[in-house]
Structure 1
Amino acid sequence: MANVRDVACALGARDEAGRIANVLRQLARAGIRRIALCANGCRDATLDEARTTAEALALELAPVEFREALGHDAPRAIAAMQAWRRWPDAPGVLMVDADWQGGFGPMLAEFLRDALANPGAITGVSGHVRDPDLDRRWQDIARLAGSPPSLRPFLLPQYVPLCTFARVSPRFVASPGLFFALTRRAGTPWRVYGAWDGRLLGNPIRGAEVAARVVAMLREDACAAEAILTGCAASAPPLCPGERAWPDVEAWMSCIRWEGSP
């Protein structure tokens, strides 16, 4: 079985100076030593705190900074690409949120042990959307894809075997619905780690406006996933914009493809 110390973590953070140190400490408790961080339009000391903590914990930190925010999920796509580029020997990429609180390190270690024991699959978690109709829709999407109905592919943590990105570009991590549908279409199975308890993360409560935007994006992602899974989309689907800065994601990824070229 692969060593958790070789796993790379992809992390997107926006104005998380008060939380990023604990997140890195908990990642270290779980055995993670490699972290790709996308600082997403931060106006505080998130990146400085991350560097200080990483140095203290002897973590390998590979930061990418954007002056303007890229929108929901897009920073994670950048971080996933950075992780793949920086550590091509990694068995996979772990994705978590930068606003988690509490001592979740041991629970994350168990998640990683389970994921690494199933190296051919993407490991996610179950959960619910507060909108019952939308939650049922995602349940139907999971069934349509031949995945566990309790899976919610937009929830974290997720462990993605690195070989996945050879078939489906990490740019699609910016749209969980597209990434889920495209990886299933490519033949990559998804599984659920049932022991994860998101209530222990102490996530800060977001305002009603933010929650409404997230629900709207999940609807958009559901449409994208359904189009792929039912064959209604082209073989190379257009990126679903939502409130995500797709052109910036594409521009950054296009630039890094040139690095090392003659």
Structure 2
Amino acid sequence: MLTAVIPVKNEAPSLKGVIKNLQAVPVDLIIPVLNGCTDGSEEIIRTLPATLEDPLVFTEPLGIDVPRALGAARAWERGAETVLFVDGDMDGPISSALKQLVVAVKKQGVDLALTNCYPPEELARVSDLAGYLLSVRLNLNRALGLAGAIGTASPSHGPHAVSRRFLASIPWRELAVPPVALAMAAKKGLKIRVGATIPHSQLGSPFRDAVHARRIAETIIGDCLEALNLIRGLPRQRSLNGNVYLGYHPERRFDLLAAHIPSRRGTGNR
């Protein structure tokens, strides 16, 4: 079964477009995870016939990436063999790329199919902050021996698809820290590849202010530093050159994640 997980945080205007893209794949099941929404997103979700699963609704904000982990756990419970992750604001013309990600997992044996959001034409116009973030992502991918296969791609950015074997191998908590999940998958010898290319400007994600952009970048940088320390057998710190990169990390509600994930005896995912 092909299942889509949609983390949703006040993204009512884009939800119909996201669902339309998923219908074009098509997927068997859609699991929306509503993350402290206050804009009517739940009401829109419940009116869409393509939503085959009651949404997971959390009135408290879960923080960045935690909804992804909760949706993955629900998909596991439902027997999903392939899970496609698409954020609730990604309503751009990306249905063909989503199909490519699914094909990579279902037909090509890939366990983690990533999106390259920075093809050369996009790289030419990135900001200094984005350029630094990409350098940190590339450094992690080099340390994992994956730079040749995935470049700067990361599960932190863009749609991606995973196999059931991936879900069985990575603890739920670590799905909420995507670069750490990437590092664990690489250490376990799972197959990781770029499955599609979608320039960041085509994802459909709305422009956010500079403060948000910096906090997102600091979140992902800190996550990459955690992943690098993990593979080196060091404490999972988020500091580099005297700077501590927290971003939105302190707002991740790992407590709510632990309270809602199912038990999985015998799966290897602890």
Q: Same fold (TM over 0.5)?
A: yes
**1:119 corresponds to which residue?**
109
Question: Of the candidates 222, 227, 230, which is equivalent to residue 228 of structure 1?
Answer: 230
TM-score (norm: length of structure 2): 0.82
TM-score (norm: length of structure 1): 0.84
Q: Which runs of 5+ in 1 are unaligned?
A: 1-5, 235-239
**1:257 corresponds to which residue?**
263
Identity %: 24
CA contact (8 A) 2:34 2:56 kept: yes
Cα distance in 1, alignment partners of residues 200 and 215 from structure 2: 21
1:120 deviation in Å? 3.9
**1:78 corresponds to which residue?**
70
Residues 19-39 of structure 1: CA distance to partner in whole angstroms, max 9, x if unpaired?
Answer: 112211110111113111111
CA contact (8 A) 1:51 1:61 kept: no
1:150 deviation in Å? 3.1
Query: 3-state DSSP class of the match of 2:193?
Result: strand
Question: Of the candidates 39, 42, 66, which is equivalent to residue 44 of structure 1?
Answer: 39
Residues 207-231 of structure 1: CA distance to partner in whole angstroms, max 9, x if unpaired?
Answer: 1111111011112101111011222
Query: 3-state DSSP class of the match of 1:79?
Result: helix
Moved over 6 A (4+): none
1:181 deviation in Å? 1.2
CA contact (8 A) 2:5 2:32 kept: yes
1:194 deviation in Å? 4.6
Cα distance in 1, alignment partners of residues 28 and 200 from structure 2: 23
Code of the residue aligned with 2:263 in structure 1: it is R
**1:169 corresponds to which residue?**
171
**2:83 corresponds to which residue?**
93
The count of aligned residue pairs is 241
Cα distance in 2, alignment partners of residues 194 and 34 from structure 1: 21
Query: 3-state DSSP class of the match of 1:156?
Result: coil
**1:3 corresponds to which residue?**
none
Code of the residue aligned with 2:90 in structure 1: it is W
Residue correspondence of structure 1 range 107-146 to structure 2 within 5 A: 107-127=97-117, 130=127, 131=129, 132-146=131-145
Q: Which runs of 5+ in 2 are unaligned?
A: 119-125, 237-245, 265-270
CA contact (8 A) 1:78 1:171 kept: no
**1:154 corresponds to which residue?**
156
CA contact (8 A) 1:127 1:151 kept: yes
**1:23 corresponds to which residue?**
18
1:96 deviation in Å? 0.9
Cα distance in 1, alignment partners of residues 204 and 108 from structure 2: 28
Residue correspondence of structure 1 range 147-226 to structure 2 within 5 A: 147=146, 148=149, 149-226=151-228
Q: CA RMSD in A?
A: 2.1
Code of the residue aligned with 2:104 in structure 1: it is D
CA contact (8 A) 1:7 1:32 kept: yes
